[in-house]
C-alpha cells in the first residue's frame, strides 16, 4: 500500500527566504505526483503536476522535482512572501487500474513572517 510522508510537518521562515518542502512515497510505481496548497478552511488549489516521465515542473516562483527511483519529490519556493503561508500537500497517483485515486501526505504547514 502506498504511503506518502511530508517533512517537515511545520516550517516558519522569514520573508524573502528560499525554502524546500519534502515529499516521500513508498512505492515508486507512480503515474504522476501533484502538489497542492490549502488555505485554512478552504479547498485545495493545484500548484504543479509532474508526470512520472518528468524530472521537474516550474510555475513562477515554484519548482517541483521528482526522483521516482528514490521515491522523493521536493517543492522549492523562491523568495518566500507572507502570502505563501498555507498548508502544502503532495499526492501521488498510482495509475493503472487506479487512475485518479490520489494518496495524500499529511501536509506541511508553512508560515512566512514579515
Partner 1 sequence: DGGITQSPKYLFRKEGQNVTLSCEQNLNHDAMYWYRQDPGQGLRLIYYSQIVNDFQKGDIAEGYSVSREKKESFPLTVTSAQKNPTAFYLCASSISPVYNEQFFGPGTRLTVL
Task: Using CB under 8 A, list all residues that contact partner 1.
Answer: 4, 32, 34, 36, 41-46, 49, 89, 91, 93, 99-102, 104-107
Place of cell 499529511: 106
Nearer to partner 1, 17 or 22 (CB): 22
Q: How far is the CB of 71 from partner 1 (least distance, A)?
A: 17
Sign of CA dihedral 70, 35, 56, 13: negative
d(CA 41, CA 89): 14
Q: How far is the CB of 95 from partner 1 (least distance, A)?
A: 8
Q: How far is the CB of 43 from partner 1 (least distance, A)?
A: 4
Nearer to partner 1, 18 or 59 (CB): 59
Nearer to partner 1, 79 or 99 (CB): 99
Whether 93 and 34 have beta carbons less than 8 Å apart is answered as yes
Q: Which residues on adjacent β-strands are paired with residue 38?
A: 44, 87
d(CA 59, CA 74): 14
Amino acid at each position: 500500500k502506498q504511503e506518502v510522508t511530508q517533512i517537515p510537518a511545520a516550517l516558519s521562515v522569514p520573508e524573502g527566504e528560499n525554502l524546500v518542502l519534502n515529499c516521500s512515497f513508498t512505492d515508486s510505481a507512480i503515474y504522476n505526483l501533484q502538489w497542492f496548497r490549502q488555505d485554512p478552511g478552504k479547498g485545495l488549489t493545484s500548484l504543479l503536476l509532474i508526470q512520472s516521465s518528468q524530472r521537474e515542473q516550474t510555475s513562477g516562483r515554484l519548482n517541483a522535482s521528482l526522483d521516482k527511483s528514490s521515491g522523493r519529490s521536493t517543492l522549492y519556493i523562491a523568495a518566500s512572501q507572507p502570502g505563501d503561508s498555507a498548508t502544502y500537500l503532495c499526492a501521488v497517483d498510482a495509475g493503472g487500474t487506479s487512475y485518479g485515486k490520489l494518496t495524500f501526505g499529511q501536509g506541511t504547514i508553512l508560515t512566512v513572517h514579515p
